[in-house]
Structure 1
Amino acid sequence: MQLLVRNLARTTTEQEIRELFEAHGTVTECTLVLDKETGKSKGFGFVEMPDAKQAKLARAKLHETRVGSNKIRVKTAQEK
């Protein structure tokens, strides 16, 4: 299950996101979306968790929690 993580501080790293979600289960992929021109974070990313039950638990536990100075939002990503 792919989760969308929004409202990340521009300084948050992929490793920090991965560690946050790994506390709730297996993470197979973690991608921070970067601006193509500056290479800096756009403030959101995606986390892939193969176990839907773990992903739903992570979404419930982490939605609207503070990461740094920002309150993040976590939801199920829409299929392309």
Structure 2
Amino acid sequence: MKLLVRNLARTTTEQEIHELFSAHGTVTECTLVLDKETGKSKGFGFVEMPHAKEAKMAKARLDETRLGSNKIRVRVAQDKEPQPDTKD
């Protein structure tokens, strides 16, 4: 299950997020979304947990908790819908 983690401090690292979520289960991937031009964090990222039960528990326990000075928000990530091809 893929989780969206929002409202991260710009200084938060992937390692910090990985450690936070690992306390609640297995984490297979942790990715911060970075600005293409500056390479700096955009303040959100994704955590992939293979076991839905662990992911739901992590979401319930970590949503609205503090990581550093920010209160983070954790949601189930929605897959992007494919964009229709507008080329004719």
Instruction: Give ranges in structure 2 of 5+ residues lacking alignment.
Output: 81-88
Provide the TM-score with structure 1 as the length reference: 0.99
Give per-residue Cα distances to partners, 1:19-63, cap 9 Å, x unaligned: 000000000000000000000000000000000000000000000
Equivalent-residue separation in structure 1 for 2:73 and 2:66 (angstroms): 9
Equivalent-residue separation in structure 2 for 1:54 and 1:67 (angstroms): 19
1:18 aligned residue? 18
Provide the TM-score with structure 2 as the length reference: 0.90
Extract structure 1 runs of 4+ deviating beyond 2 A.
none
SS in 1 for 2:47: strand
Let me know the Cα RMSD of the aligned residues.
0.3
Instruction: Give ranges in structure 1 of 5+ residues lacking alignment.
Output: none
Alpha-carbon distance, 1:79 to partner: 1.2
